Every structure is written in C-alpha cells, then in structure tokens.
C-alpha cells in the first residue's frame, strides 16, 4: 500500500491537515480550489497527486473528516470509519440488541457486559456494535493508515454526539484505541489488563457476488494485505483472555489452526467460532452500562 500525500479541501483545516501529514511524513497539499468542483475534477486532482509516485492512495481531509481515497478504482473509492452516519445510527438504535449473533458470541446478556479486546479492529464496525451493546472495548489495529481513520472516525462521531446525541458519546466513552500489533500485545499484557474476551476477525480472501461489497473489500485488502499470522493470534488470544475467545470467519472458511471451537454460531455469510475458557460470571459488567440497554 503506497500513500502519496494528504490533501485538505477546506482552508480552516490546514493546521489539522499539517498535523496528520507530519504524522505520516507525507506532503500536505492544498486542494481547496477543487473542493467545490465536479467529482470528476476532484478525482483527476487526486489521481494527479499519485501519478509518478506509484501510489494508489491519498488521504483527503474535508469538513466531514478524514478519508483514504483509492485512485485506481474507476471512479475512485473513499474509505472512512463511520460511527455516526445514518446506517450505523439506525443499527445502533433499531438493531437486534442482545439478540444479534455477535452479542451472543461474545456473551452479552442481561447483567453481563464483558470487557472485549478487539485485536483486529479494522474500521471498528464490530467494536462499535459491541460498545453500543454496553461492552467496554479496547481496539488494536496495526496498519497506521487504518488506525488514523479509526481515530478520526471517533473524533468526528464525538463532535456530532456532543452537539446532538449524548447516548453516542457514552458509546464512544467505552471505546479505547491502542497503537499496537496484537500478537505482541496479547503475549505481553499485564495481569490487570487481561480482557474478559478477545475478539478476532482476521482478513480472509474475498468471495462475494456483490459488486459493491467486492470493490470495497478488494480495496481494503489492498490496503492492509493478508493476515497471514492469524493462527498465531488465536494461540496468543487463548492465553490472554479470561473467559473466551471469539473468531469471526466467513461461513465457508476453515477454522483458525489450533483447538476446535467450543461452539459455533452460524449466520448467512459469517460464523462465529467461540472458544470458551471459563463461563462468563453473572453480573460481569466492565463498563457500568447495565440497565441502559
């Protein structure tokens, strides 16, 4: 994955843009002149930043946050971590609550809200669902660009929440992002920081018929690469978690190497392999969220 630069589209964001650019040691480019232009013109401007660099991605900072733009796609494609858009908000407010398969896999039930370490956080979708259900979440993501999207997604959502959605702020308060490679973290974590549950969702080659999902997944794959060390993660997770390890897999994928799961929850396209170490005790509540859900 090669990044060319960071382009900002609003002069009020210049200082913030420069901070992000410094962090990534990337050139900071003023794109304000094309901010209001037709998408085609903006796309051409962004592609021009990558030409000659052999780069496929450019960061774009606008008033609605930070995105990673893939210029090689026919009409470009923007990737962001979204915790306050219409779709995630609908799921947070109207979704299946504790009845969702992910909640059952992790062990959320009335009075039980475990502390979950999401060791493969990606863009934070699963972690956000679990935090919405009342779990305290620690998110680990090793790809710097993805971690930046996560960090900015949380900043944007908090800004929105402070202005108009206090419940969203409570969810975000339960999420902590840590800069680490999970393999090292899981092996070295102190006794006090051992989570109740470790959640793993490593990359797996995409096999879907949906063109749009395919495009987004393909771009995300080219961004983070293959998680070839996922089997090692399961071993480390099993010695770190207090009560259980949950592995999300495409329904047809083989289980990670290691012991067989204690039980499996199967959905239409995904399944959850649950490795139970000990029963989650009644009243386990790592976040103090009980009674609100």
Q: Cβ closer to ligand SAM: 63 or 226?
A: 226
For residue 222 the two structure tokens come to: 């080219």
Site membership for ligand SAM, residue 224 (CB under 6 A):
yes
For residue 203 the two structure tokens come to: 């990359």
Contact in structure between 249 and 204 (CB atoms under 8 Å): yes
Site membership for ligand SAM, residue 227 (CB under 6 A):
yes
Site membership for ligand SAM, residue 201 (CB under 6 A):
yes
For residue 115 the two structure tokens come to: 């502390």
Instruction: Report, in Å, the least distance between residue 75 CB and ligand SAM.
Output: 23
Window 160-189: contact mask with ligand SAM (x via CB under 6 A): ---------------------xxx------
DSSP state of 279: P
> Which of 84, 142, 158, 244 is the binder for ligand SAM (CB under 6 A)?
142
Site membership for ligand SAM, residue 202 (CB under 6 A):
yes
Between CA 250 and CA 269 the distance in angstroms is: 6
The DSSP secondary structure of 206-219, one letter per residue, reads ---S-HHHHHHHHH
Name the nearest CA neighbour of 216 among 35, 107, 60, 69. Answer: 69
Instruction: Report, in Å, the least distance between residue 140 CB and ligand SAM.
Output: 5
Q: Give the residue ranges of DSSP H helices in the chain.
A: 14-24, 39-50, 86-94, 101-106, 125-132, 144-164, 166-173, 182-188, 211-224, 230-240
Window 230-269: contact mask with ligand SAM (x via CB under 6 A): ---x------------------------------------
Instruction: Report, in Å, the least distance between residue 150 CB and ligand SAM.
Output: 9
Contact positions toward ligand SAM, by CB under 6 A? 120, 122-126, 140-143, 146, 181-183, 201-203, 224, 227, 233
């Amino acid at each position: 994955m090669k990044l060319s630069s960071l382009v900002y589209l609003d002069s009020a964001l210049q200082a913030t843009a420069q901070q992000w650019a410094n962090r990534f040691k990337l050139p900071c480019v003023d794109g304000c002149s094309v901010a209001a232009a037709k998408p085609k013109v903006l796309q051409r401007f962004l592609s021009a930043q990558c030409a000659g660099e052999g780069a496929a991605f450019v960061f774009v900072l606008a008033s609605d946050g930070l995105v990673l733009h893939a210029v090689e796609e026919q009409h470009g494609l923007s990737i962001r971590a979204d915790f306050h858009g219409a779709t995630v908000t609908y799921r947070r407010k109207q979704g299946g609550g504790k009845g969702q398969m992910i909640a059952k896999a992790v062990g959320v039930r009335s009075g039980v809200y475990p502390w979950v370490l999401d060791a493969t956080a990606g863009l934070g979708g699963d972690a956000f669902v679990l935090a919405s259900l009342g779990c305290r979440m620690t998110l680990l993501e090793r790809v710097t660009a993805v971690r930046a999207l996560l960090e900015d997604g949380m900043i944007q959502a908090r800004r929105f929440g402070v202005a108009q959605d206090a419940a969203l702020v409570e969810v975000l308060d339960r999420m902590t992002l840590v800069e680490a490679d999970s393999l090292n973290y899981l092996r070295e974590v102190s006794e006090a920081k051992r989570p109740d549950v470790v959640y793993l969702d490593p990359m797996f080659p995409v096999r879907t018929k949906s063109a749009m999902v395919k495009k987004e997944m393909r771009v995300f794959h080219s961004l983070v690469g293959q998680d070839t060390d996922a089997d090692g993660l399961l071993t480390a997770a099993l010695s770190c978690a207090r009560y259980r390890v949950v592995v999300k897999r495409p329904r047809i994928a083989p289980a990670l190497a290691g012991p067989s799961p204690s039980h499996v929850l199967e959905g239409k396209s995904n399944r959850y392999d649950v490795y139970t170490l000990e029963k989650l005790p009644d009243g386990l509540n790592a976040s103090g969220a009980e009674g609100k859900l």
